[in-house]
Amino acid sequence: MARRSFNWCSLKDLYLACERVPEELRDPVTKFMAYAHLSVNEVSKKYLLNEKRYNYTTPKSFLALISLYEEMLEKKHAELIKSMDRLENGLTKLQSTSSQVDDLKAKLAVQEVELKQKNEKQNYLLN
């Protein structure tokens, strides 16, 4: 029961996780962590019956679960930042390319007019 009353930001080590997890998700994540840890206790009882070996869960293993969650959260956050940077760079390049294409279209229009004038002039001189 004490694990369920875990205060999300009570541990100094969870500084990053406190900032990364939105307020509305902290309570469900906290409840899930307690549920997962308590579920291990239930499965450990079955493991003891089937395999005659016991898996010990301790408060330290609960803190390890929280630490693992924080590591995974940090890793996923870094991946998302990297993906966002890639998308932003891609959009920047697309915008740059689009403006270059527009410039080239404008130059082409001017050159087509010049070409048409020169062709007319050449046809006039040949005839």
What is the number of residues in the chain?
127
Instruction: Say how far apart CA 56 and CA 41 lie, in whole Å.
Output: 8
DSSP-derived letter for residue 87 is: H
What is residue 112's predicted lDDT score, i.e. its pLDDT? 96
- The answer to pTM > 0.85 is no
Q: Under a CB-based contact definition with an 8 Å cutoff, are residues 69 and 17 in contact?
A: yes
Structural domain boundaries of the chain?
A: 12-126
| Sign for the pseudo-dihedral over CA of 89, 92, 98, 99 | negative
Q: Token digits for 79?
A: 């991946």
The letter for the amino acid at 120 is E
What is residue 2's predicted lDDT score, i.e. its pLDDT? 46
Q: What is the mean pLDDT of residues 16-44?
A: 81
Instruction: Say how far apart CA 39 and CA 48 lie, in whole Å.
Output: 14
What is residue 7's predicted lDDT score, i.e. its pLDDT? 54
Q: Which residue has the higher pLDDT, 62 or 102?
A: 102
pLDDT tens track for 54-92:
888 888 888 888 888 888 988 998 999 999 999 999 999
Instruction: Say how far apart CA 6 and CA 63 lie, in whole Å.
Output: 11
Three-state SS for 108? helix
Q: Under a CB-based contact definition with an 8 Å cutoff, are residues 37 and 62 in contact?
A: yes
Question: How big is the chain by its Cα radius of gyration, in Å?
Answer: 32
